[in-house]
Chains A and B, each alone.
Chain A
Amino acid sequence: MSSVDVDPGADRTRGDADETPRRRYELEDLGFDEVPKKYRKFYRRWNGPGDTIAPNEALCPVCKVIIRSPRELRAGDRLYCMACMTRVRIVAGENGGLETETLY
């Protein structure tokens, strides 16, 4: 998973209050076998509290799988967890980091 370029465009479907370009990420299949093959690169297993979550990743609050995006995440972004069928939104956490909340 490496950062390859920046995305200068605002996103139509997601919150983009910060207009500075986002880093983009080349996703590869990390062996997450709980979704159809074509979606595997968008997910990986969580290895517990010591696991470093990258700027393009978020922890699904329902099933604790790491959701991966091809773009750096920001508050207001919407993600899908296909492992448990949950829609989540990225929100600013109290400690300044990013957190997730469920969107039913």
Chain B
Amino acid sequence: MSGSGIDDVHALEPEDFIEEVHSFEHWFEAVEGYLKGLDHGHLPDVAEALLTAEERDRLIATFCSYAVAETAALEASSGLIAIAPNRHAKIFLSTQTVDEGRHVEVMLHRLRELGVPDPEAEVERRAGPSVRNLRKKILQLVEAHEWDAAIFAQNVALETMEYTVFRAHARTADPITRDLLERVLRDERRHIGFGENELGRRIREDKKRRLWLGTVKSELDSLVLQTFEEAMEEIGVPRWDRPSLGRDYLETVNRLGLV
């Protein structure tokens, strides 16, 4: 399958596809396409928009919450490597860990670009309470070695929320923020896909595990919803537009049969 002469990728055997997409080499060749030549996560020639003091302050608060969410994903994905049940999951999580490290770094740098002298102190001071609670909850599940629940919390709940919020934000953001978020979103596609497929495989023929994950989901729902609402408020999405934005999460849990 090496080289450019691939007639039909869909003719791959399922095992070969799974081997390929979980590999470090696949990840490296994929991210090269959209991360090469950037300056701290965005194209170097994008000009900073003129923001009012209020817009800048709101954007700073938003990035503070994003930084907490990304730090949660960095800590959790690295912690999950040790308890991953197979090689594919371990290697994939090593690539996710690198992605999340990049996200934390570019988001803290965006805060510097917006005039924040000490981004980490700003994050500590201004990140929303719900995203902090979600971070705590995810890390508790990782520390308890609850593989299925932690993957659900991180790769389904947190990542789907980030995917939805970043997409909504990118639509109305200043050009630098939009470019940065659109490149983060390319990473998020892999993360949500990994979570759904990993859990889908594990609960396909294990009704008890599916029922138990449904309970985990119910316990997390209110926290996820609060965090989602907090993020929507920060980026200024009108209330009438929010239900459609929550659709991705509902569709995922429906496909997994966790309702």
Contact = CB atoms under 8 A, between A and B. Distances in A.
Given A38-B3, A87-B14, A104-B204, A81 B9 contact: no
A77 B9 CA distance: 13
Interface in A12-62: 13, 33-40, 42, 61-62
Contact of B196 (A35, A39, A42, A86): A86
Given A70-B7, A85-B190, A104-B204, A36 B197 contact: no
B26 interface: yes
Given A80-B17, A104-B204, A33 B33 contact: yes
Nearest to B8: A70
Q: Do most interface residues of chain B lie in helix, strand or loop, or is the interface mixed?
A: helix
A83 interface: yes
A85 B9 contact: no
B193 A78 contact: no
B201 A104 contact: yes
Nearest to A80: B17
B193 A13 contact: no
B168 interface: no
B83 interface: no
B192 interface: yes
B192 A80 contact: no
Contact of B189 (A37, A40, A78, A84): A84
B34 A39 contact: no
Interface in B10-60: 10-12, 14, 17-18, 20-22, 26, 29-30, 33-34
Contacts of B14: 87
Nearest to A70: B8
Given A62-B192, A69-B10, A82-B20, 10 more contacts: A33-B34, A35-B30, A36-B30, A42-B9, A70-B7, A86-B197, A102-B196, A102-B200, A102-B255, A104-B201
8 contacts: A34-B30, A35-B33, A42-B9, A62-B192, A62-B196, A71-B8, A83-B190, A87-B197
Interface of A: 13, 33-40, 42, 61-63, 65, 67, 69-71, 77-87, 102, 104
